[in-house]
Amino acid sequence: MVKAILIAAVVMLAALPYGYPSPVQAEAKTMSIQQVLHNQKRLAAANEHYMAVNSDGSVKTWGTRLKGEPSVPKNLRDVVAVASSRNAAFALKKDGTIAQWGAGASLHSSQSGTALSKIKDAVSISANLGTLFIVHRNGKISYYHHINDGGNGKLSIPAGLKNVADVSSGPYHVLALKKDGTVAAWGKNYEGMAKVPPGLNNVAAVAAGSSVSAALRKDGTAVAWGNGFPKGKIHEAPYRDIVGLSAGFSEIYLLRADGSLAVWREQTISPIAGLPKLMAISVQGDDGLLGMNLDGSVMQLDVPRQIQLPERSATGIVSLSSNYAEYAAVHQDGTVSTWSRYRASESGKIPAAATDMAAVSLSSNKHALALKRDGTVVAWGSNEQGEATVPVGLSDVMAVSAGYEYSLALRKDGTVAAWGSDKFNDVAGAAGLTDVAAIAAGTPNLALKRDGTIVAWGYGAHRFPEGIPASVAMANAGGSFSAALHEDGSITVWDDSRNIVTINDFRDREQAATSIHLGGEGELWTLLKDGSAIAFDCSTGAELQRIGKDIHLVQVSGDIGIRSNGELIPLEPYLNRR
């Protein structure tokens, strides 16, 4: 049974009216870490001031003006990397020199470090709010400190640091990537972000945020430490195909090989749906995120809030269930995990017997059902009406569905077992049902019979629409809406007030619908044979959103979908309401 859940918003600002064809373009599926890193260095964001390198090596800036802007130095060309630092902007050129514009140095030369005019061998730069760090061709690192930003600890570069390949500077600490794949860190360590986990190696890129640090390894895995992450040990993201990363305030943005984006924070992961494929990202602190599209154009992205998934539940999922605010997932190893968006799990502790599971169902009254692969059932949580007391001897079950204070189980022989509260005939109404192919607890309960007819019982059964086509292929129920998919491709949706909406989009189409799923805010997800999906408004039948076959949804529950590869992805169709 699916209940309404608040949809997380992902807002994408319009593409900026200028483009930057990248010198290293690739299809998303073929992107490498080095390609992404090359492109990422051509982007910079700080204090709402943004920079990007054009295809001709010139520089474009926008956003908050620096002192001395909007004029970029005339004839500035051959730029390979940019960095923004409060009121100063920097550009690294192919010849190893560094151009600066905006505010000049406000510190005495004895405090400012290396004069930029003397640098002829720079290979990498990174800036925070008052300091530019420079990696030299000989593997040494220096700094240019132009504004007193209170972060003098960042200037204490470890003695003897050499063989540096790259650098990333956050507001309070700095990370240096060495040529041997190890990482050095210095600066303030109030959240542990300047203490590199022991044993970290094989690193290809680093990212220093305000209170977190991250490292991307050559095998496509990412490691994080600092605010919200375990200290003193290597802690990995759940994905194994990461090609780029950038650190914000306490969050880490992960760019995957397929061009998709995820946000990693406090041991949760938030895949971001609905964005174009990207081949580079850049963020500093809590500034806005920049993304480079596959065609080289640059977008300013705003991701105000996301559905946060536990790291363990982000991948390897075979079944998912949700109610108003809680989720339960069955993993490929047969175990079950639960989590809540707002508070501790209300369904209680998962029993030790919940192993070797095939499917799970959450009710809206704090109890859960789980179907084991051997056809038996495990229940836990609220049991005030006996809803979590599985009948003795119940076996050969092929599906379960948890209702409000009652439970349903479909046996392989087509009969239905029901237990718990019978206040609205939810239990007695299931007696005598035969030849059932699918069940859905809700208001009302629905049973799809093998001959294509639907039987409704329980609360709201009298609202079941008359004359519904007998050639039903699949049905679903939940919340205020129920829906049925017919063999001719049409879909009937009805609500508690007997309002009926018919969706005929799949009549006479080669691309047939294979299943339907009610989402979290009154939307109906229709999954198609090619792996694509379309969301419709249950009240009007209007199309809300299309998701491409590259995502390949196989199940939707509430505001989260399961992909064919077992990954979870949040869904937000009402951002696209017409």
Q: Which of the four pLDDT bands, split at 50, 70 and 90, describes residue 10? A: very low
Q: Which of the four pLDDT bands, split at 50, 70 and 90, describes residue 149? A: low
128-139: pLDDT as tens digits: 888 999 999 999
Q: Which of the four pLDDT bands, split at 50, 70 and 90, describes residue 185? A: very high
As to burial, measured by CB atoms within 10 angstroms (0-12 exposed, 13-18 middle, 19+ buried), residue 500 is middle
Sheet strands side by side (includes 491-495): 472-478, 481-486, 491-495, 500-503
Q: What is the pTM of this model?
A: 0.89
Q: Which of the four pLDDT bands, split at 50, 70 and 90, describes residue 69? A: low
User: Does residue 176 surpass a pLDDT of 90?
Assistant: yes
Q: Which two tokens stand for residue 92?
A: 């690294």
User: Does residue 346 surpass a pLDDT of 90?
Assistant: no
User: Does residue 438 surpass a pLDDT of 50?
Assistant: yes
**Number of Cβ within a 10 Å radius of residue 337:** 17
Average pLDDT over residues 172-190: 96
Q: Which two tokens stand for residue 248?
A: 């914000």
86-130: pLDDT as tens digits: 788 999 999 999 999 987 655 555 467 889 999 999 999 999 888
Q: Which pLDDT score, from 0 to 100, does residue 6 have? A: 23
Rounded to 5°, angle at Cα 167 from 48 and 87: 30
Average pLDDT over residues 235-260: 96
Q: Range with the lowest mean pLDDT among 34-43, 232-241, 255-264, 548-557?
A: 548-557
Q: Which of the four pLDDT bands, split at 50, 70 and 90, describes residue 270? A: very high
For 67, the 3-state DSSP assignment is coil
User: Does residue 68 surpass a pLDDT of 50?
Assistant: yes
Average pLDDT over residues 495-503: 90
Name residue, tokens 């986990």. 197
| % of the chain with per-residue pLDDT over 90 | 62
Q: Which pLDDT score, from 0 to 100, does residue 150 have? A: 59
Nearest to 321 by CA among 218, 441, 415: 441
User: Does residue 304 surpass a pLDDT of 70?
Assistant: no
H or E element, residue 34:
helix 33-40
Q: Which pLDDT score, from 0 to 100, does residue 7 have? A: 22
- Domains assigned to the chain: 13-310 (2.130.10.30), 314-433 (2.130.10.30), 465-578 (2.130.10.10)
What are φ and ψ of residue 309, in 5° steps? -105, 140
Nearest to 370 by CA among 385, 351, 384: 351
User: Does residue 343 surpass a pLDDT of 80?
Assistant: no
